[in-house]
Each structure stands twice: as C-alpha cells, then as structure tokens.
Chain A
Amino acid sequence: MKEMEQRLQKEARALLEQGKVDYIIGFEPGSLKFTTTPLITKDKEDVERLVINPFIVNNLSVFLTELQGRVGIVVKGCDSRSIVSLIQDNKVVREDVVIIGIPCTGLIDLSKVELVTGKDRDELDDIAWQGDKITVRFDGEEKVFPTEEVLFDNCLGCECPTPQEYDILLGEPRPAAPNLTASRKNLEKLDGMSSEERWDFWKNEFSRCIRCYACRNVCPACFCKRCFVEESEPQWVLPVPRWQDNLIFQVIRNIHVAGRCTDCGECERACPVNIPLRSLSKRMYELVDELFQFKAGMDKDAVPLMTHYELEEAEDFIR
C-alpha cells in the first residue's frame, strides 16, 4: 500500500503541475484513529497528504457534481462504477475526469472490529493487515482475525475490486472473488422472515431514523438538485421522522437509485443510528439484475436503465 501511496502522490502532483486537472480529490488522514477524510485541493503541495489504507471509506465521486473544472479523482472499484453511472446520466463528462484507480482489497468495518474485540475504536492501538489476516493490538495484547470477519459486507461480495474505468491504475488489477454468502448475511436473515416479521423489523429500524439525510447526501446516485422529500406541493412524504414516512422515504430513494446503485455501501455506513440500509439497496441491486440483467456502472456507453425507452417498448404505459 505504501508503494501505491507514493505513486499516487507522484501522479497527482504531475496532473496538477501539468495543468491536466484543476482539482485532485483523494483521501488524507482523518482526525480520529483509523479514519480518513476527503482531501479536495488545487494545491500541488497538498498531494503529500494523500493516503491509501483500509479506511478510505468515502465514495468520492459524490463531489464530482459540485466541482467546476477538470478533476483527478482517487477511486476504488465501486466508486469507479458510480462515476461510470454519472457519465451515463450525463452528470459527469468523461474527458473532465482523470480517474486514478486503486485495485481494492476491501475496507475494514470498524463496527465489526469493535464487535470482535469488545473494544471501542478509539481504544485500539493498531490494526494491521497481512494477507488474509488482520491483527488488532489493544491493551498490550494482539489478536488475529480472518479478514472476512472484519471487512464491510459489501466488500466481501465485491464484483469489481479493480476500477471499471480508469486513466491511471496504481497497481496490478485484482480478480474479483465475491463471497456472496458472507456479503448477504443480513439479507439472508430478512429472506428467512415472514412478511409480517419483516414489516415489524423495518418498523423498528425506521423508528430510529432522524432524517439527517446522510444516506442520501453521501450517495453519488442521489444527484437531484432538489429531492422529492423536500417538495411541499405536492408533499410526497412529510419531513417529520415518523417511522412510516421514514420507510417511504427510503423506499422511494431506493427506487430512484435503482440501476445507479453500485453497492458501495456508503448509505449504511453513514447512517448514525445503524439502520441496515444496505439490506434494501443490495436487494434492489439484485432485483435490477434479475429483472433487467443490468449492473450499474459497468459500461459508460450503455444507455441508463431507468431513463431510457424505445418506441417498440413492450409495455404500452409509457407511450
């Protein structure tokens, strides 16, 4: 990873120096242990702060629609698919981005580390990754866990560790080795429930929602200037965080991002009240694949799934 990081800093500096981009978007160390924060800069001296480590959680493509000019952006496999999807939706122009790809090994889910160690993240001294093991140091002890136990669920099922689209690749491409069972653990649980049980489950989960809209704002597929939830005429859903409204908000959001969601997992990770949002978004991802044989963000030249129709459309409701 250190080598990749050095190469990244060199490439980013060159892009800025040669005027090929106006901005670099990458990750720099965060202010808390085991965190990173998005670095958005025009200054070539800042590139020394760029890092690559198992905590580069954010899908930085969410910033692309905000910035004017050409942007060099650091992406993991899932993030690159979000960019492809944005290109398909005419939200990003391919020539305006220089995509710096990381062949991604997956990211560490600190909530899982907390669960297996029984410690809070700020009480851990070190988390080190070697091969298929992760060593966590705390209270003067070392404990070793298989990576599978501490990676994010979506990383375990990753179909696209190497960016789908890139201009610079910071390492050798990585073959995909999705572990569907491990990545679908939460969905399995829901699949096993009766519809009444599922209803009660979601009622309970959505009762905690505070409508911070972090799930929407971290999502590159949620690029609307004005979200339906903010409309007052007509009022599709009240901004009041009652569980029913919260559920409807999330269901509509999922329909809106169907065919755009790349299972980057940001919605679930951003949720401050631990609502398992990926259990909805991943299910939608699967449905899109089943019904339309479509995976989001795989081909920038493919027509977008939901905004495209043909005159010979089989269903006549759209004509």
Chain B
Amino acid sequence: MTTSQKIKKTDLGKLLNQWSQEFTVLVPWRENGLATWAKWNGTDTSFIDWYRNTVVPAKAHFLPSQEEMFRFQKDEKGYHIELPDADEHKQLIFGIRPCDARALTIVSPIFEELYEDPYYLAKRNNTLLVGLACTRPCDSCFCTSLGINPAESIDVDLMVTDIGDQFLIEGISEAGKELIAGASEVKEATEADEAKAKEIKEASYQKVTRKVDTDNIKEKLSVCFEDEEHWEKVADNCISCGICTLLCPTCFCFDINDELVKKQGTRFRSWDSCAFSIYTKMPMENPREEKWRRVRQKVCHKFEFHPMSYDIIACVGCGRCIRQCPVNWDITQVLNNLPAKV
C-alpha cells in the first residue's frame, strides 16, 4: 500500500496549466544567466534540467524587496490615508527547495506573533508551496547541518521528487492534497517508485558535504561575544554590502520611507540590512558603527539571539551568503572556528 502519487515528467506542464487557472504559478526561470522566479508561461519546463536554486529566495514573494504600504495626502484638515485593497491574490510557488521552505516556517512567526503584519500574512496565507527535492546541492550548501534533508520537506503543501522519467508526489498539507485531487495525469505511485524516491533522498543527503558544528552554538557565541580582536579578524575582508543579508531567506529586516510629491505621499517598505552602516540611523544612531560589530550581529542574530527567542536557528544552510559574496566570506568557517570551546 503506497501513500504517494506520481506524474509523468512530460505531463508536468498540464498540471501547472491546471493550477494556473486558480493561482499565479511561479516557476524557476533563467534571465541573463540568473536563476530567479517567474510566472509560468504555459510551456517551458526546461528548468527541470538546470534548476538548482534561485539567487533571490522565494521570500521576495512574501516580503518583496519593495512594497507600497499606503498612500496619503495632506490638506488643511490634516492627513488622509488610503490603504491598498485587501491582497487576495492567490499564488503557487512550484519548485521551492526544502531549505527555503523551512526559512518561511522560521520567518513567519515574526510577522504573526507579537504583531500581525497584514502585508506579509496576506501573501503567506494565499500561497501554496510545492517543494521540489534537491538532488544537486551546491558546494556552498550546508542544509544538513541545520536539520534539513535537501530532498525532504514538511514545510510545503506538496512535495515533488524527480525519480527519472516521472515525479513522485507526496501530499503534505490538506490544501496540497487537494491540489492533485482529480488531476487525470496523476496516478498512484508503486512501491518501486517510493523505494526509488527514498534512495534519491538518501543520496541527496550524502551530497551535502559542507558542515557546520551547531552543538552548543548559542553558548559558544555568547562566550566569545566580547572578543573584539576575534571579530575584527573575522570581519576584516567584509566589504559591508548587503548581499548576504538581503539574499538570505531568513533575513527579514525592512526600512520604511515616505515619498512626497507635492501633497501626495506614498509610504514604502523595502529590504534593509544590518550590514549597512546607516542601519537604524533613523530612530537613533547605529550602535554598530564598526564593521566587526555588524558582522558579529549578523552571525549572532542567526545563531544566538533568534534561537533565544524562537528556539530555532535562523539559518537553513542554503549557502547563498557564501556563493554570492563578492569576497567569499564564509559563515561556515566562522562558525567552525570560534575561539570558545563549550
């Protein structure tokens, strides 16, 4: 008795087209050599062959790099605020990797618990995630050190694994199971199919060779927090750009800016980064003027402070911060070479 379904690879387009009737379907896309997300164009499934992961993570479809919050006008009676219409736009992200799906699970409580962020939550609640098992992790990936199997996910609605000329499909959430209910191309998987998927998952796990020692990481960071000389050394080749943070699937900082043209105003929010020297300059001064303090903050926030509040490390080992860094600054080396032994 099997619990999974399957679909021929050549039928994937049909399924995506079917979903497109209800959702805006996003799939991996390549533009100028850049792997990104784009609206499904109805035909091109070539990403199956080249796709490993996108440069900009799927978080951009929940917390966009820039977003209009509301408009306002000023007259003699004061300010009038015009809120945008409720966001009821339904989207489906096909091909999200287990690391990035976990990142959404880590980030969502921040927009939900202390304060409900309507912009983020509307998008999150109107989105279904179809995960695609990662069978070709990059040499910068270290997801397995963060408890993630690159080919398995419970953070998605539906999980898809490439088993040769077919995809194995596993329903994770009820909404995910509904996505394939009644689809004529979807068939019951055989035991052999499931065995093959299991084999692929185990093999994928083994392919991730970069490791981080996360044992007692909170404590280790806490002990060496004051070690200025150490952090200066760690930070010395950093150029303080925002790549590692802005492209990080678990970084969620944003800045708010008003644009006033005559008496018409628009309030925007956009990605911000603790790597920038002007971070938090608006409410006060940036307490982390020196570069090493900002680098320390980035590391400690993910591996010490966030776990203190949410009991989970705010890193999924997607490796973007290593892959995309212009100077090859490598967080795994930093974490594996902390001076404190606990």
Residues on A facing B (Cβ under 8 Å): 30-33, 35-40, 58, 62-63, 66, 111, 114-115, 120, 122, 205, 208, 210-214, 216-218, 226, 230, 232, 238-242, 266, 269-270, 272-274, 276
Q: Which residues of A contact B65 (CB under 8 A)?
A: 210-211, 241
User: Which residues of chain A come closer than 8 Å to B282, judged between CB atoms?
Assistant: 232
Which stretch in B172-180, B192-200, B233-241 binds the other chain?
B233-241
CA distance A226 to B236 in the complex (A): 20
Most chain B C-beta atoms within 10 Å of own C-beta, residue among A33, A111, A273? A273
Q: Which stretch in B119-127, B152-160, B266-274 binds the other chain?
A: B266-274
Asked if B66 contacts A273 (CB within 8 A), the reply is no
Q: Which A residues are CB-close (under 8 A) to B326?
A: 58, 214, 218, 266, 269-270
Q: Given known contacts A115-B33, A208-B34, A239-B255, is B239 in contact with A31 (CB within 8 Å)?
A: no
Given A212-B241, A270-B241, the answer on whether A35 and B257 have CB atoms closer than 8 Å is no
B148 touches A (CB below 8 Å): no
Is B140 among interface residues, defined by CB-CB distance under 8 A? yes
Q: Within 8 Å of chain A (Cβ to Cβ): is B10?
A: no
Question: Which B residues are closer than 8 A to A by beta carbons?
Answer: 31-34, 36, 52, 55-56, 65-66, 138-140, 236-237, 239-243, 246-247, 255, 257, 259, 268, 270-271, 273, 276, 278, 281-282, 291, 322-324, 326-330, 332-333
List chain A residues, Cβ under 8 A from B243. 212, 214, 270, 272
Chain A contacts of B34 at CB under 8 A? Answer: 208, 273-274
A120 in contact with B138 (CB, 8 Å): yes
With A111-B33, A218-B326, A240-B270 already in contact, the answer to whether A211 and B242 are too (CB < 8 A) is: yes
Q: Would A211 and B270 count as touching, CB distance under 8 A?
A: yes
Q: Which residues of A contact B281 (CB under 8 A)?
A: 230
Q: Which residue of A38, A239, A274 contacts B33 across the interface (Cβ within 8 Å)?
A: A274
Question: Looking at the complex, which one of A40, A122, A238 makes contact with B236 (CB distance below 8 Å)?
Answer: A40
Given A37-B328, A122-B138, A274-B33, check contact A213 B241 (CB 8 Å).
Answer: yes
Residues on the A chain within 8 Å of B259, using CB = 238, 240
In the complex, residue of chain B having the shortest beta-carbon distance to the beta carbon of A275:
B32
Contact B32 A274 (CB under 8 A): yes
Within 8 Å by CB of B237, from A33, A37, A212, A239, lies A37
* Interface contact A214-B139, CB-CB below 8 Å: no
Which of A114, A120, A241, A270 has a CB less than 8 Å from the CB of B270?
A: A241
Closest-CB distance, A91 to chain B (whole angstroms): 16
- Determine the chain A residues whose CB is within 8 A of the CB of B36 once the complex forms: 208, 273
- The interface residues of chain B, by DSSP majority, are classed as loop
Q: Is A62 touching B239 in the complex (CB atoms < 8 A)? A: yes
Determine the chain B residues whose CB is within 8 A of the CB of A38 once the complex forms: 236-237, 327
Contacting pair A272 B66 (CB below 8 A):
no
Cβ contacts A to B, 6 pairs, < 8 Å: A30-B328, A114-B33, A211-B65, A211-B246, A232-B282, A238-B257
Q: How far is the CA of A283 from the CA of B78 in the complex (A)?
A: 48
Cβ contact within 8 Å between A32 and B239: no
Known: A32-B140, A217-B241, A242-B66. A37 touches B268 (CB 8 A): no
Q: How many angstroms from the CA of A210 to the CA of B273 in the assembled complex?
A: 11
Q: Say yes or no: B328 contacts A35, CB within 8 Å.
A: yes
**Ordered nearest first, which 9 A-B pairs have the shortest CB separation?**
A214-B241, A30-B328, A270-B326, A212-B242, A122-B139, A37-B328, A38-B237, A31-B330, A217-B241
Name the CB-closest residue of B to A229: B278
Q: For the complex, what is the distance from the CA of A39 to the CA of B328, rounded to whole Å?
A: 11
Take A114-B33, A115-B33 as given contacts and tell me if A210 and B56 are in contact as well, using a CB distance cutoff of 8 Å: yes
- Cβ 8 A contact of B323, one of A32, A230, A273: A32
Chain A residues closer than 8 Å to B257, beta-carbon distance = 238-240
Assembly CA distance A62 to B326 (angstroms)? 12
A214 to B140, Cβ gap below 8 A? no
